[in-house]
């Protein structure tokens, strides 16, 4: 009985590989980005690229495990949801008020430790934000001038 269950699970795992989510990065115009619009301090820009861009930009790095179901489904869903909430590659689409709100939300999320996602940090420890980097995000939200140092 145990052998049949294991064989059944193996078959399901193999079949699942044929149902892959879309993993693509839409074309990006650098002039439409947060970096072009806000001209953030280099430290802030580097922190955002390292900790946020995989889910909140059109510059997602799709690692090998993003091609293995069922993990691929979770990653693709997280990226879709992340881009829908905040997309640093399409910053020019936001009104000044919407941009300010998005940065305020980003500040709240990083201060509360909800972003980057814990599951993401398990595999990408380098994405962990320092308190200084979190403060740079919050300063950018307050000033929308792009991250003066504290």
* pLDDT tens string 116-137: 999 999 999 999 999 999 999 9
Q: Residue 53 belongs to what domain range? A: 2-143
Q: Decide if 102 is inside a domain.
A: yes
How many Cα atoms within 13 Å fall on the side-chain side of residue 119?
A: 5
Please check whether residue 83 is in contact with residue 58, taking contact to mean a CB–CB distance below 8 angstroms. yes
The tally of domains found in the chain comes to 1
CA dist 91 and 147 (Å) reads: 16
Q: Residue 148: what pLDDT?
A: 38
CA distance 37 to 147: 13
User: Is the predicted pLDDT of residue 5 greater than 60, yes or no?
Assistant: yes
Q: Which two tokens stand for residue 19?
A: 């149902």
* Mean pLDDT along residues 48-63: 96
Predicted model pTM: 0.81
The answer to whether residue 25 is domain-embedded is: yes
């Amino acid at each position: 009985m145990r052998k049949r269950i294991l064989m059944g699970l193996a078959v399901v795992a193999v079949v699942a590989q044929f149902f892959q989510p879309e993993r693509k990065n839409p074309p990006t115009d650098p002039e439409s980005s947060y970096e072009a619009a806000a001209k953030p301090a280099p430290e802030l820009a580097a922190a955002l690229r390292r900790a946020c861009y995989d889910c909140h930009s059109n510059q997602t790095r799709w690692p090998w495990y993003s091609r293995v179901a069922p993990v691929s489904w979770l990653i693709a869903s997280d990226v879709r949801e992340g881009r829908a909430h905040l997309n640093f590659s399409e910053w020019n689409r936001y009104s000044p008020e919407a941009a300010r709100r998005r940065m305020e939300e980003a500040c709240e999320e990083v201060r509360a430790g909800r972003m980057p996602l814990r599951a993401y940090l398990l595999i990408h420890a380098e994405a962990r934000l320092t308190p200084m980097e979190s403060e740079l995000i919050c300063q950018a939200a307050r000033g929308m001038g792009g991250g003066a140092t504290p």
